[in-house]
Amino acid sequence: MLPSLIPLGLVALLGATAAVAQECTLDKKCPEDKPCCSQYNQCGTGAFCLGGCDPRMSFSIDSCVPSPVCKDAELKMDSLDRYRHISEFLGDPDEADWVGQGDPIIFKGSTLLTMPKGSVGTVLASTRHMWYGNVKAKVKTSRGAGVVTAFILFGDVKDEIDFEWVGTDLSTVQTNFYFQGIPNYANSENITKLSNTYDNWHEYEIRWTPEKIEWLVDGAVGRTVLKSSTFNKTSNQFEFPQTPTRVQLSIWPGGLASNAQGTIDWAGGPIDWDSDEIKKYGYYFASFKDVSIECYKTNSPPGTNKGISYWYNDIRATNDTVVDGKKPTILKSFEGTGTDMDKGSPSGTGNGGAHASNVPGGIVNNPGNQVPGGVVNPGPGNGGGSSSGTGSGSAPPCKATGFSQTCPDETGATNNQNNGVRGAERTLGASAFAVVIGFAGLLFL
């Protein structure tokens, strides 16, 4: 059981001061002064230009910062030393393994992703991209109506491979894949007859090559999709994930009242912010440990990892347009972009630190700073991921828009529509908390 004193106060989306970023789509690219289209389809500089930046929707194809190439890793998830909040990360993968938002905490050798009352959960994303390969993780899922756990691969151009769990069905994991975010609900398939996914650790694995995807549970293949089966004669295109992706882990509220009804139904119904789980612990949670990333091994593209970074040389954004090269990945400040990576003073001084125009997802780590969506993280002293302390378990209303989802008030009410829902009414760019990318105000990134 979890200790009742795990901190509740450090919520991903606290406070509410407004700052709304310009939205970006394939038909409406970002302006030159805010050239980068983030994972959450908002324009900006700095962190908007890092992982998740979509070159197809940005001002130019080189507006996004090149992405760090794959590197084999064994991540125990028993410490937050290699985790950075999005407002603290400028693109150096040697500094951190994970970047994210929300309230991750350590408990008994694993990382808990928490979702306190009135929040939109927690999301972590790997700081390196994986261009094919194998990734596995041990997971104990969340539970409860409207509560969704996710372990996915998500690319800058919205290629995606998913494991997802709905909290009302603890014997099933849902699998899915998308090519460039194009909805195709025939791509979904369940793996069933699992022992209770909340009480028991299971190992989930995605094996991804240029020719097929396999989803495994506890070492057994539960589903296989061949690239050859995904050809679309109309578009003359294989609708198969094929570009570099980040590993994303999340918990998010599919059952928020502000979500589309199709999403609420898919997530098992409306979320209950007064459930036994909330009363006992102060939050919903999912547990992750032993994440293993094995890069694809090949001497020629697609799928290499010989250089420093990945970037695109054509707006088609297919695997033959990915470059594995030596461009740098680290911004000098949050004013920088892919075309001017040295712009601004060092982070935290002058005007180069994180503020409203250059951190997508809605929060920074220092009180007083503003970010898109207008959320301020109270910083150390209110939990900070330690295993002691107390909190209210109830987040104030928030209006973070960077994660494509708004926060409700304490009753669950909100006047804003979720622009990035998953499930039956999923839209382009919505996944992991895409997830709340599955989510509003979190990353990414």
Q: Which token pair is 401? A: 């828009």
Peptide bond into 378 cis (omega under 30): no
Q: Is 164 a catalytic residue?
A: yes
Residues 113, 436 contacting (CB under 8 angstroms): no
Report in angstroms the alpha-carbon separations of 193 from 170, 171, 295, 370. 9, 5, 30, 46
Q: Out of 88, 164, 205, 239, which one is annotated catalytic?
A: 164
Report in angstroms the alpha-carbon separations of 127 from 96, 275, 301. 7, 34, 21
Residues 87, 354 contacting (CB under 8 angstroms): yes
Residues 360, 402 contacting (CB under 8 angstroms): yes
As a whole number of Å, the CA-based R_g of the chain is: 20
Q: Is 410 a catalytic residue?
A: no
For residue 424, the 8-state DSSP code is: G
Torsion of CA 194, 195, 199, 200, to 10 degrees: -80
Residues 43, 24 contacting (CB under 8 angstroms): yes
From first CA to last CA, the distance across the chain in angstroms is 33
Beta-bridge partner residues of 136 = 205, 292
- The two counts, helices (H) then strands (E), for the chain are 2, 23
Other Cβ atoms within 10 Å of 196 Cβ, number = 12
Other Cβ atoms within 10 Å of 261 Cβ, number = 11
Q: Which residues contact 34 (CB under 8 A, 6 or more apart)?
A: 21, 22, 43, 44, 45, 48, 357
**Angstrom distance (rounded) from CA 322 to CA 429:** 20
**Angstrom distance (rounded) from CA 29 to CA 42:** 10
Q: Out of 32, 74, 88, 160, which one is annotated catalytic?
A: 160
Q: SS3 for 153? A: strand
* Catalytic residue numbers, as ranges: 160, 164
